[in-house]
Amino acid sequence: MLEEFDEQIFNALVEEIEVFSPTHFVFQLKSGWRVEEIEE
Read off the pLDDT of residues 9-38 as tens digits, 9 standing for 90 and up: 999 999 999 999 999 999 999 999 999 999
* Residue 19, pLDDT score: 98
Domain boundaries, the chain: 10-38
Q: How confident is the model at residue 7 (pLDDT cuts 50, 70, 90)?
A: very high
**3-state SS record for 5-36:** CCHHHHHHHEEEEEEEECCEEEEEECCCCEEE
The pLDDT value given to residue 15: 98
Higher-confidence residue of 14 and 1: namely: 14
> Cβ contacts of residue 38 below 8 Å, gap of 6+?
23, 24
